[in-house]
Structure 1
Amino acid sequence: MSGSLWDLGTKPPSISIVNQGCESPDVPIKGLTSEMKLAVPWGHIAAKLWGSQQGPPVLCLHGWLDNANSFDRLIPLLPKDFHYVAMDFGGHGLSSHYSPGLPYYQQNFVIEVQRVVAALKWNRFSIMGHSFGGIVGGMYSCTFPEMVDKLILLDTLPCALDYKESENLLTYKRRMIEHMLQIEASQKPQRVLSPEEMLQGFLKNNSHVGEECARLLLQRGTTQVATGLVLSRDRRISLPEHSIDFVSRDLLVHFIRKLQAHVLLIKAMQGFYNVRRENDADKEALNLVKDILKSVLKEWFQYTEVPGNHYVHMNQPQRVAGIIGSFLKSGTLNQL
C-alpha cells in the first residue's frame, strides 16, 4: 500500500475505525469499543480501542512476538474513565509486515509510536508497556519527553542496559542481518498446523503463558488458511536481543534525566530479569537501573513487586490492575 501518513502536518493520515462495538465470539472482551487501522507507508498499523475517546489517553505496547490481545484481560479491570489504545507493532498481530529489505529494529518501533500518536492528535498521554513494549515506550518517553505523562513498565525496564553485553553487540547485529537475508531468500512456505497443534506448540515455547492467554494471543497472531492455521507474524523477526538497542550506564542516566513522566515499574517475582534468558538469574542489571531511576526521578518513580511470572498482567491481571489504576489516577507519587 502506498502510504499517506507522513507528510506530517501537510496531509492528514488515514484512520479507519472498524467493528464498532465489537466483541469476539470466541473470547468476549469487556468494554472493547472498536478496532482501528492506521495507514502507514508500508501498509497499516492495527489497534484496539477501549473507552471514550474523550478520556485521558493510554497507549498500550505489547511484548516481543505478542500482540494487542496481550491487554484483553487487564484493561477491563482498569479505571473506566481513560481511553486505552493497544496497538500491534509492525510485523505483529494484525499490523502489516515491513516492506522487503526493511529490518525490525527497536528504533523503528519507536517511530511507529510517534506515527500513531500524531495520527490520533494526542498532545500528552500515558504509556503502558510489557516486556519489549516497555523498552520501546521508555525510549519514546526519553526521546519525546514532553509527550508522556506517565510510564508504566510491566516486568521490563525503560532501556536495555549494556550490562556485560558489549562483546556480544556486533554478534547480535550480524545475526539479525543474516537471519533477515536468509528468510527473504527462502522459498519455504509457512508451516500449517491444526488449532490444537498451534496451541500446544505455542505453550511449549512460551512456558510463562497459561492456556487461556495463549488462545488470546493466537487469536490475533494466526491466520486461517484452507488446511489450518499459520502464524501471521513476520518471519524476519528474530530474537529480541538482535533488534534491541543496548545502552551504556552513562547513556541510561542521560536518557532518564530527560524524562518528564512519572514512572511505575511493576516487577513480577517469577518474571524475567534479562533479555537473554541464559542470564536470567542475574538481577544486577535490574537493581542498577532501579537505583538510577530512584536517584534521578526521586518521588516520580514508583517500584513494586507482585507474585507471578512474566505474563502476570495476562495470567493474573487482578494482581496488577489496582496498582496501575491508582497510578493512573494519582497526581504526585510517593516513593515506595
Structure 2
Amino acid sequence: MEAITFKLAELELAGLTNFSLSSPLENNKPVLLFIHGWQDNAATFSSLWQRLEKDFNLVAIDLPGHGLSQSRSGDNYYHFFDYIDDLHQVIMQLPATRVCLVGHSLGAIIASCYSAAYPQLIDKLVLIEGLSPLVEEAEQTVERLKRGIKSRQQYRKSSERRKARAMNSFTEALQLRANVNDLPMTCLEPVVKRATIKRNGLWYWRHDQRLRCESLYRMTQQQAQAIMSSIEAPIYSIVGSHGFPQLRDDPQDKYKLQQFSQVVIVGGHHCHLEQPDTVSNCIRAFISLERD
C-alpha cells in the first residue's frame, strides 16, 4: 500500500492505496474503501490488505484528527455528520463510479449513513462490529446537550495538561493501547505506529484530544431506522462473539433492512485484528458472491 493525500475543502486526509488515483483503473477489480473506528486509523486494516490486495483495488483513509490526517480547525469539534461529508469528498476523487465500503465500528456507522444518502455510488457494504447510528430516547436530548457542552469545558480546562502527556518509549504506547483494547501487542503495532509521533526522545499520541468530547446530540431510534431502511446496497455484518451484543439482536427486523446477512466469528470488538484470515475470507466471499 502506498501513501496518498486527499485534499478536501477545509483540510487534508492521509490515506493508503494499492492503485493510482490519478488515472483510470486498469482492471475490473472492485474498489474497496476502508473506514476505521474511533481513535483508530487506516492501519487497523493492514492485516486484511495483505490478504485482499491481489483481488481488489484497496484504499483507506485516516479520518480527521486520526492517524496522519489533519485535525479540524481550533474552533471546531468532531460532529458525526461531518465525517459523512468528508467521505463524500474522498469518494469523489476516486477513479470509480461505484465502490464497496468496509467500515469498522464508527467507520461502519459512517458507511451506513453514507450509503443511505448516496445509494447510486455504493455497490456493497461490509460492516465490522458496527451498524447504525447511536440512538437515545428523545427525552434524553437536553441531558445529552448538557453533557456534551460540559465535556468541551473540561477539555478546554485540561488541554495544556493533555498536550504535555508523553510516553518514554514506543513499547509503552503499544502496551497502553493493548491494555485498553485487551489485545496482544502484535495485533496493534501497525495501528500504534501510525497513531504516535516521537519528539525529543519522547512519544506522543497524534490523535486530536477533542475526539474525547461527547456528542451534543444523538438520533432517535426512528431516525436511525429511517436511514438504515433506505440503504439499497447489500449489507454484510461481521461481528465478534465477544463484541457488542446489541449488534447481534436481530438488526434486520429492528432497522427494516432491505438486504442483510450477518456472520459471527470468534473475537471481540476488533475481531478483524484477531481473525484476519477469517474476516478477509468473509469479505472476499461476499464481494465475489454479489458480483456473480
TM-score, normalised with respect to structure 1: 0.77
More helix as a share of residues: 2
Matched-pair contact (CA < 8 Å) for 1:160–1:247: yes
2-side partners of 1:172 and 1:238: how far apart?
A: 15
Which deviations, in whole Å up to 9, do the C-alpha atoms of 1:191-232 show, x marking residues without a partner? 11122222222222222x321122221100011101211000
Q: In the superposition, relative to structure 1, how do residues 182 and 151 fare at CA in structure 2: closer, same or farther (>3 Å)?
A: same
Q: In the superposition, relative to structure 1, how do residues 173 and 217 fare at CA in structure 2: closer, same or farther (>3 Å)?
A: farther
Instruction: Measure how far apart 1:67 and its partner are.
Output: 0.2
Structure 2 counterpart of 1:236, one-letter code? R
Matched-pair contact (CA < 8 Å) for 2:252–2:260: no
TM-score, normalised with respect to structure 2: 0.88
2-side partners of 1:332 and 1:272: how far apart?
A: 30
SS class of match (2:209)? coil
> Equivalent residue for 2:173?
198
2-side partners of 1:61 and 1:49: how far apart?
A: 13
Which deviations, in whole Å up to 9, do the C-alpha atoms of 1:155-203 show, x marking residues without a partner? 11133343xx545444333333333344345333331112222222222
1-side partners of 2:275 and 2:95: how far apart?
A: 33
**Residue 330 (structure 1) aligned with residue 292 (structure 2):** no
> Equivalent residue for 1:14?
none
Cα root mean square deviation, aligned = 2.3
SS class of match (2:87)? helix
2-side partners of 1:210 and 1:148: how far apart?
A: 34
2-side partners of 1:171 and 1:216: how far apart?
A: 38
SS class of match (2:160)? coil
1-side partners of 2:121 and 2:129: how far apart?
A: 23
The one of 59, 82, 104 aligned to 2:56: 82
Q: How many residue pairs align between the two structures? A: 283
Please list every run of 5 or more consecutive structure 1 residues that lacks an aligned counterpart in the other structure: 1-31, 274-282
**Residue 47 (structure 1) aligned with residue 19 (structure 2):** no
Q: In the superposition, relative to structure 1, how do residues 98 and 325 fare at CA in structure 2: closer, same or farther (>3 Å)?
A: same
Please list every run of 5 or more consecutive structure 2 residues that lacks an aligned counterpart in the other structure: none
> Equivalent residue for 2:197?
223
Instruction: Measure how far apart 1:120 and its partner are.
Output: 2.1
Structure 2 counterpart of 1:259, one-letter code? I
The one of 216, 219, 224 aligned to 1:252: 224
Structure 2 counterpart of 1:187, one-letter code? E
Instruction: Measure how far apart 1:323 and its partner are.
Output: 1.1
**Residue 287 (structure 1) aligned with residue 249 (structure 2):** yes
Which has the higher relative contact order, 1 or 2, with Cα contacts under 8 A spaced 6 or more apart? 2
Structure 2 counterpart of 1:256, one-letter code? M
Matched-pair contact (CA < 8 Å) for 1:59–1:86: yes
Structure 1 counterpart of 2:7, one-letter code? A
